[in-house]
């Protein structure tokens, strides 16, 4: 778990290893209270396609993008609030490349969210 603050934006990265667990929302709500993140990046979500939208809706972020898990492996979710604008530049099964902009001014930065598999052969595909 990492909290990254760049300029005016708080980004929370977490390899949650399963967003379908019954306690996931309790833990996520605690992190939201502690960090007040504008953008969260969740890795290894391991949730079936049928359940993804319901789980993301409960997180309380009005905007989201997901890269589906592959047979309950990998999976990347980006969820962000109304304080920032996120322009998606590229999507890959293990990466989301985006530009993060402030609604308050012209400042922006590039954010590449990469799931690096623990399996060397899969990682080499990146």
Domain assignments of the chain as residue spans, ordered by start: 2-123
Whether the per-residue pLDDT at 71 is higher than 70: the answer is no
Cα gap 37→3, rounded to integer Å = 8
Domain 2-123 matching CATH 3.60.10.10: the answer reads yes
Greater confidence (36 vs 99) lies with 99
Residue 44's alpha-carbon distances to 5, 102, 119, in angstroms, are: 22, 28, 13
Cα gap 122→98, rounded to integer Å = 22
| pTM metric for this prediction | 0.84
């Amino acid at each position: 778990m990492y909290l990254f603050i760049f300029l005016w934006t708080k980004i929370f990265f977490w390899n949650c290893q399963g967003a379908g667990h019954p306690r996931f929302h309790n833990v996520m709500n605690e992190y939201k209270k502690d960090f007040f993140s504008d953008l969260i990046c969740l890795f290894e979500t391991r949730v079936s396609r049928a359940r993804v939208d319901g789980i993301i809706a409960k997180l309380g972020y009005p905007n989201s993008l997901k890269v589906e898990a592959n047979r309950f492996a990998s999976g990347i979710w980006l969820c962000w609030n109304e304080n920032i604008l996120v322009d998606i530049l590229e999507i890959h099964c293990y990466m989301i490349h985006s530009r993060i902009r402030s609604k308050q001014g012209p400042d922006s930065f590039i954010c590449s969210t990469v799931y690096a598999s623990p399996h060397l052969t899969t990682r080499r595909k990146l």
